[in-house]
Structure 1
């Protein structure tokens, strides 16, 4: 497996900007589709019109539900306002299933919820598979995904699987001409990733002019997410679309020596060393493998690599390379997503808080409980 190297050629200053710009005209990743959830808050029709006219967005995918208990409170307004802006509208369900029975139950819940919030028949209702399925064999994940999608079809929706590039054909089978795959290169312009799949989500930190916060954007490789509905979507400002697209493709490029707070989950797609500091010159203290994930709380951007800092079990910080600065990513970052932990014998809120670099009071707030509440083995907690 490829490891971070100590020496590599770095383009800096004007040379880097020129190299990035020259690569954008032909191979720039497009902002064809944006996905939204309750994390984005209320989104107005005007915001979706701006995305369409100035950024070239043509499709919208709305979070509908999660598990069998959570309904996204903004789904109905996102669907209605996205349609008013002329966008193709789809939905997704965040999956927690680990058995076929659970998959069918979650599909029934998602389908009923989608109907209730107005997701149009013929739209895509995808399953977002990136959580508890990490420790299951590929064959079981495949069977569970099939069960979910077969059940969803009964509601009149088309189906697809959303997952990370490191999980595709490793944790589950994603055939060509199917799948919505997430992989975030630090310079999106260049090789067009996952071009044989329905969609490639290439950024989780895109900013739109009149909307606040970070958004996930995807490039569509066919008409799967724009079929089954009528739409008059068309950007009316091609010049603005070209300019914003160039900016978005540059946004994740080289920014030397920057440190910022970011809470997220990193899933490596290769074997990586953990070091005592953000640099290859620091001692190696552990190893992470593709089957694992790490909850981090800080990102350090250097001239050669981008690093994540996380709190280790011994209370000391470890540092792992997220990818090359201006080059290859070593996995997928899930930012501002819920991370869950299943309680084991001997755990306490204090030990769990320490493991995830947070506080007991914060854990209690996340889980709507008191700091003195009893916790039991097998119980699942939201930890970030």
Structure 2
């Protein structure tokens, strides 16, 4: 009975996908279940690349961690978000999540990435859980942090891996899943539901890693979750603004749709609209070596706006400034940090203070982010060592080691403990 029900459900979903309308080519993307989209990392370049004109969203890698302690950024993140919005599509985020096995590690990763989010509030921040050691509680703790920050958490991965390394039922009861399963590595522009990784609460299905020739992840939105963060799913109506979103909106405002005609080329189209062919290719997530074909829809500069569009494309995207909290009567570093799910030492250091500093009502404190640190030196405590002795060996202060390593009691360290300077 269950198998018959699943077959009927999958057939109904397939039919629904086949009859979905396609809106506006490369123009604004509007809400609809069954929207196709892509996900990117640095391998898709500064402006990313879409597979087909009817793609409606991109999920962009911010960076991640491979050890739960050290984070890396994707240099393409901000410009890919801006490019997505410029093309009238919805932008979301994901973080590579490997060997994060404690809530403390999860906090460090999110303290680092949450202030850097360039998509609007309410948009997706997915955890890419597909490699290394995992901890279900740490994943859920991170999802709760993402939700508390005003974003929509998702858990990405392969069903078999997630079932082996996490309590997937527990996670799926609380968050929508983004699951991947591919029938093969042939070019696959539409999902094959014969290999659908059936499970509860799947919001996005990544159905191929070869959406187009040469490789590109292809995804389908099964629930409308990619509308999140955008009013009625319209990419030009984000719930909140960020520097990348503003840049993308400005480029979109100064461009319009153009349908490629026979014998067109990047140079011919760009020349017609007073643009550089390199800028034209960039704002369409392509290069001048990308083949264009009749019927394809591109964004081109409005009359007289060619140089302004070029200026916008070449303008670096500013980083968000983070969130601030105004100190109230009775507040302390501990109470403020606890309210914002931070470590109180991180809170103090982010504001150039120590936890012994006096704070006062009306004072503004930055309440997310991470202490900027140079490359770390690591020392493992030996029997009989003290924190003050280790600080002297590493050429730093006890206070610095307490902040970096979240040590509350400077008199309490133990053999084998990892101390980073």
TM-score by length of 1: 0.46
Greater radius of gyration (CA): 2
Give the structure with the larger helix fraction.
Answer: 2
- State the TM-score, normalizing by the size of structure 2: 0.42
Whose strand fraction is larger, Structure 1's or Structure 2's?
A: 1
